[in-house]
Structure 1
């Protein structure tokens, strides 16, 4: 189990404890974190689990694949720190990670 902090666009922090191997999107959904929709259920098809990962934490994540990059084309306010939470499996090294959420989802 690892602790993850989801930081809403207004600064509110939602700390959750999550199991290894599930995605950041699944952990947010299981804990009713506002701002992560996950409408497609984690199939990288909707962009409603768009989040921002700090540069220092990006090295802990798998590389973005082409489908994720293409799906982000449909998200709002995409930056170089944008990722889809459904495509990020939780690992032990991610304990304490902070994931920032956009003001709106697609």
Structure 2
């Protein structure tokens, strides 16, 4: 296998990535905490009202801490999703090239 042939196949990979092709970053997707981590319905209602009719200073400190944690986790999950999409696009090209080379070698046998 030559590097030039692999590069050629990678450059010719279909732009539409098949649904069966999976690629994930090395680390797991960050989980986003749930409002049910709060111990009472009153605290959950405060969390739901935060930003709409309640400010951080108006809610219980536990609610403010969970809201902050949820926001940071949501941002981290969105970054993970973007990294997965970019990585999948790049990895697909090289996986396609490797499949084409393997098919070619099999045909030559």
Q: Which bin holds the TM-score, normalised by the shorter protein?
A: under 0.3
If asked which structure has higher relative contact order (CA below 8 Å, sep 6+), I would say: 2
Q: Whose strand fraction is larger, Structure 1's or Structure 2's?
A: 1
So what's the TM-score if we normalise by structure 2?
A: 0.18
Larger C-alpha radius of gyration, 1 or 2? Answer: 2
Whose helix proportion is higher, 1 or 2?
A: 2
Give the TM-score normalised by the residue count of structure 1: 0.18
